[in-house]
Amino acid sequence: MTDNLSSRCLPVGFRFAAGYAGLRKTPSDDLALMVSDFPASAAGVFTRNMVRAAPVELSAGSLRKSGGIARAILANAGNANCATHNMHAVSAATVQAIAGLAGIPEHHALVASTGVIGEPFDESVIPRVLPRLWEKLDRSQFEACAEAIKTTDTVPKVRYRLETTDRSDAFRLAGMAKGAGMIMPDMATMLSFVFTDAAIEPGLLQEMLKTAVDTSFNCITVDSDTSTNDTVLLLANGASGVCFDERSVGTFYNSLAALTRELALDIVRDGEGAEKVAEIRVQGTATDGDAKTIAMAVANSPLVKTALAGADPNWGRILGAAGKSGVRFDPAAMVVLVNGIKVCKDGLRAEFDEPAVQEQMEGEEVRIDIQTGGGGPGRAVVWTCDLTERYIRINADYRT
């Protein structure tokens, strides 16, 4: 992303600042402050884990209280602010400090955290650094914020979209994400923050975000673990003057869906230890839900993921993973294709050139198509990565 492109695509009326509060041991930025110059419609989607971090509780509550309005987001890396005595006090002190600086109600400030669970977190740390961060707010720090929220991520993840409506009006979306998967050392987090200068009322914005997340972030897996801190926030401040309502929102939704899908794939690609991404497509089931259950069983199967790592066109493992998913289907009607090459037909080995498929699987992108043969309308697509020895090293050696 050149500076030129990023400045053209960055939504109007937002400013950003990154800084260091000492939450991370290495002295690199661990705070990201993101502010809309105007009250923005706000939507949020949060982890479904029964164990939820304080910032998740606070942000979800504030969105309810405000009816979907926000002005600022403060995200920190280095500490999950979860399962400690004072976790609620930390989040409360943070939004209080932002409210004071911005002159806004406390429930117009949202928070998100990522890092180690159950670690002490001094509630004065962030408020002490915030005034300096507030001074630094400008249009150039968007990517610095994406850098500040990284944990085991090897690269920051940012995506932009500049769109034109059929009336030739322009609006912009910019999103960042962090996460080396839904699973990370110490239950760290998938976070994503998306900004747009389009105008959309909060209820509709929430609906758009939920649907977009269901077909992007909720369709990826690095592993099967769900974090205590997962958060996706979307602010729409209307600064472009482009307004969407129920009838016209399709244009906005398509752009949002494309952006969140790009960010979701960025996360899988940067999955812990991952060397390749696999797209798993399932069709022929009774419902989309059944298709997704099968796709996720395959995507989470350690046997399939190690076969991906070994570039092994092992369709038996795919059959077995689909079979244990709990969805009923006729194994004798199953078809499996790897990168378009049929490796299993009628539930049996198909004639295929094994070295050729192996060579295909050496690449960075593998596509697996599964047709359950039921002839139903259900379909799903999910993305996963391979499971390598480096994943084990990252997670077993993290604290010892």
Residues designated as active site: 189
Distance, CA of 140 to CA of 327 (rounded, Å):
49
Give the binding range for a second copy (CB under 8 A) out of 15-23, 25-33, 156-164, 388-396: 388-396
- Residue of 39, 100, 105, 331 that binds a second copy (CB under 8 A): 331
Can residue 215 be called a binding residue for a second copy (CB under 8 A)? no
- Residue of 9, 40, 56, 80 that binds a second copy (CB under 8 A): 80
> Could you tell me the smallest distance in angstroms from the CB atom of residue 386 to a second copy?
8
Nearer CB in complex with a second copy: 12/90: 90
Can residue 395 be called a binding residue for a second copy (CB under 8 A)? yes
Can residue 235 be called a binding residue for a second copy (CB under 8 A)? no
Residues binding a second copy: what is the number (CB under 8 A)?
66
Give the binding range for a second copy (CB under 8 A) out of 163-171, 200-208, 363-371, 381-389: 381-389
Give the binding range for a second copy (CB under 8 A) out of 22-30, 135-143, 258-266, 392-400: 392-400
Nearer CB in complex with a second copy: 102/394: 394
- Residue of 39, 105, 347, 376 that binds a second copy (CB under 8 A): 347
Which residues between 138 and 157 bind a second copy (CB under 8 A)? none
Nearer CB in complex with a second copy: 121/160: 121
Which residues between 171 and 190 bind a second copy (CB under 8 A)? 183, 185-187
Nearer CB in complex with a second copy: 116/368: 116
Is the separation of the CB atoms in 179 and 267 below 8 Å? yes
Can residue 8 be called a binding residue for a second copy (CB under 8 A)? no
Give the binding range for a second copy (CB under 8 A) out of 6-14, 114-122, 147-155, 263-271: 114-122
Which residues between 44 and 63 bind a second copy (CB under 8 A)? 48-52
The two structure tokens encoding residue 79:
């500490």
Can residue 134 be called a binding residue for a second copy (CB under 8 A)? no
Distance, CA of 353 to CA of 310 (rounded, Å):
17
Can residue 306 be called a binding residue for a second copy (CB under 8 A)? yes
CA-derived radius of gyration, the chain: 22
Full 3-state SS string of the chain:
CCHHHHHHHCCCCEEEEEECCCCCCCCCCCEEEEEEEEEEEEEEEECCCCCCCHHHHHHHHHHHHHCCEEEEEEEEECECCCCCCCHHHHHHHHHHHHHHHHCCCHHHEEEEEECCCCCCCCCCHHHHHHHHHHHHCECCCHHHHHHHCCCCCCCCEEEEEEEECCCCCEEEEEEEEECCCCCCHHHCCCEEEEEECCECCHHHHHHHHHHHHHCCHHHEECCCCCCCCCEEEEEECCCCCCECCCCCHHHHHHHHHHHHHHHHHHHHHCCCCCCCEEEEEEEEECCHHHHHHHHHHHHHCHHHHHHHHCCCCCHHHHHHHHHCCCCCCCHHHCEEEECCEEEEECCEECCCCHHHHHHHHCCCEEEEEEECCCCCCEEEEEEEECCCHHHHHHHHCCCC
> Could you tell me the smallest distance in angstroms from the CB atom of residue 339 to a second copy?
17
Can residue 6 be called a binding residue for a second copy (CB under 8 A)? no
- Residue of 177, 264, 309, 370 that binds a second copy (CB under 8 A): 309
Query: Looking up tokens 């900004």, which residue turns up?
Result: 195
- Residue of 37, 138, 169, 225 that binds a second copy (CB under 8 A): 225
Comparing CA positions, the residue from 30, 234, 15 lying closest to residue 149 is 30
Give the binding range for a second copy (CB under 8 A) out of 9-17, 232-240, 278-286, 319-327: 319-327
Which residues between 273 and 302 bind a second copy (CB under 8 A)? 300-302
**Residues in contact with a second copy by the rule CB under 8 A:** 48-52, 80, 82-85, 116-118, 183, 185-187, 223-228, 300-303, 306-307, 309-312, 314-317, 319-325, 327-329, 331, 334, 344, 347-349, 358, 387-389, 391-393, 395-400
